[in-house]
Amino acid sequence: MGENTLAGFESLIRINDPERGIISPAEFIETAENSAIIFPLGIWIIDEACRQISLWKKNFDFTRPVRININLSSKQFLHPGLTDHIFEITEKYGIEPEDIGFELTESAFMDDMEKANISLLELRSRHFPVYMDDFGTGYSSLSYLMHFPVNIIKIDQSFVKWMHIDESSEKIVKSIISLAHSLDLKVVAEGIDDEEHIGMLRDFSCDYGQGYFFSKPMPADEAEKFISAYYTRRMEE
């Protein structure tokens, strides 16, 4: 965070209903996870993310890697053919480990620890980074750090959002960052929506930040304009 550098994006899915407009995942993802559509939907998301970052690499001369993170649901993550599909897609688009990362929540580990570990090891064998999402909200997050090969943890926004006005949240965020670094893990702070958050997280030596302070969710064409504007500012500095 100290370098004020664009590190990447997180891929998000929305439904654009002609009558209701944009529908958030909160309204449909649980239904999708309880049906057969979740696996092909997940594969489509991975393909789209890889296609997009491949296109951006051609359109922009990135001075540093820019990554797109992809969320994997527990049902999708434990599918026996997931990693084969991922590697097929990454090879199709010439994707490198610096181009994409995979985010998992605690539920992916809880459903079947043995299968989860095998899939993680397969991803790590190709050097793709694995993020533990929403860290701090589950019952066993600490034990997962010990038993599963994750690279980066994302501190849940419920802690980050209030740390500038709540001493307990501040101490939790600072402690998680210190713990992660002692385990040679990097940290992303989610839920940054205030400039005061930035100063505090820099003081805590947090590695990355994410939140509305930087940008609200946007479609790919707007994200491309965001990247272009970012590099324009960098050249003017």
Chain segment 79-96, per-residue pLDDT in tens: 889 999 999 999 999 999
Residues 6 or more apart in contact with residue 17 via CB below 8 angstroms: 23
Which residues of the chain are under the pLDDT cut of 50?
none
Structure confidence at residue 140 (pLDDT): 54
Sign of CA dihedral 138, 140, 141, 147: negative
Query: Residue 14: what residue type?
Result: R
**pLDDT value of residue 237:** 67
Per DSSP, 22 falls in state E
With contact defined as beta carbons under 8 Å apart, do 206 and 189 qualify? yes
User: Would you state the pLDDT for residue 233?
Assistant: 83
Q: Which residues fall within 8 angstroms of residue 99, CB to CB, at 6 or more apart?
A: 50, 53, 54, 57, 65, 67, 68
Nearest to 50 by CA among 103, 8, 6, 94: 94
Chain-centre distance of CA 28, in angstroms?
20
Written as six digits, the tokens of 216 are: 């609200």
Query: Cα–Cα distance between 155 and 174 in angstroms, integer?
Result: 10
What's the confidence (pLDDT) of residue 105?
A: 81
* 131 beta partners: 103, 152
